[in-house]
Chains A and B, each alone.
Chain A
Amino acid sequence: MGVDQKPDPNAIETVTIVPARRLISEEENAFWPTHQGAFLTTRIADIGHWGQANSIWPALFGLACCAIEMMAMSASRWDVARFGSEVFRASPRQSDLMIVAGRLSVKMAPILRQVYDQMPDPKWVISMGACASTGGVFNNYAIVQGVDQIVPVDVYVPGCPPTPDMLMYGFTMLQDKIKQGIPPASDQWLSGRGV
């Protein structure tokens, strides 16, 4: 079309429609036979665990300096969205995982327990950092010496603070745990088998 020509509003552009299966090569066709009517078998539990492990939504529970690294993990540089857990929920009712990021003061402990109780089952807890796991440098009257006195913990991530990579490694460990069908620590706590 020339520059001085006005476009004709009644003209219809024609686009060739390519059948979708032609976009895949013959070899791929042989390798991914799903659209040829093939099927996979698995167990309901396995596919459930697979879904759970890849959509863990953490509750917002940043308590101290560790929370900065937790935020870094969810931001674009480390991007935990790759593992399906980018949505930090402000409501415990919508979350599966509590990342206890920071030192837990005795005054905060009942609140942490309440938020944990409000989360629907199944639920997991990551204890992030030296303080959450053992009290860390704060060996004093005001800080709980390990959140496992308050809530059952699935994965402990050491460090002061743990880097986002370490936290993400802990997170993938938790995913492995879920995929293997290991029950959450809360179940073991309730049935008296210890944490």
Chain B
Amino acid sequence: MSPEETSEALRARFGDSVLDVVHFRGEVTALIQRDLIVEVAGYCRDELQYNYLSDVTATDWLDRRPRFDVVYHLTSLEHWNRFRLKVQVDDGQQVPTVIPVWRAANWGEREVWDLFGVEFEGHPDLRRLLLPEGWIGHPLRKDYPQTQIALPRPKSDKVLQRD
């Protein structure tokens, strides 16, 4: 099953909930309604054999509403092809987690939360993945300052008071 056939199958199954399908240099992306993502993901895994979630990531379109795209890169080891799902989400809204479908989504969604601040509804362990605990802000947002970041003080600063 090629990516084109996948998008047709999604259109046939979910109708208008597939908001858009983009073809670009042999890559196919389907834009899905946000509340249907778990259902679509389950259909992709079970019926269309997309049994491997390679990545979860996001993009920040600063001036657009809704502001973020959350992107799921699917791989089918059966058919040896790839497919991309996208949902749009605004600041402060939540995306349903796809961990029940692919357990690999756990760390991917933690990373997206860490770097973009997109929250995932139902995620069992939404902590920072890459940045240290206690970090303020989400650095891959377009409005995050690029320089002049205040450093967290080193933990053992007390040693400076020793004689």
Contacts and interface: CB of A to CB of B under 8 A. Distances in A.
Interface of A: 106-107, 109-110, 113-114, 117, 139-142, 144, 149-150, 189-190
Contact of B162 (A107, A109, A141, A190): A190
Contacts of A190: 160, 162
Nearest to A149: B151
B132 A106 contact: yes
A106 B151 contact: yes
A109 B156 CA distance: 11
A109 B154 CA distance: 7
A189 B162 CA distance: 11
A150 B160 CA distance: 11
Contacts of B151: 106, 109, 144, 149
A145 B139 CA distance: 17
A150 B149 CA distance: 15
B152 to A, nearest CB: 7
B154 A150 contact: yes
Contacts of B19: none
Contacts of A150: 154
A131 to B, nearest CB: 15
B22 interface: no
User: Which 10 residue pairs of A and B lie closest in terms of their CB atoms, listed nearest first?
Assistant: A113-B154, A107-B132, A110-B155, A141-B139, A141-B149, A117-B156, A110-B154, A117-B159, A113-B156, A150-B154
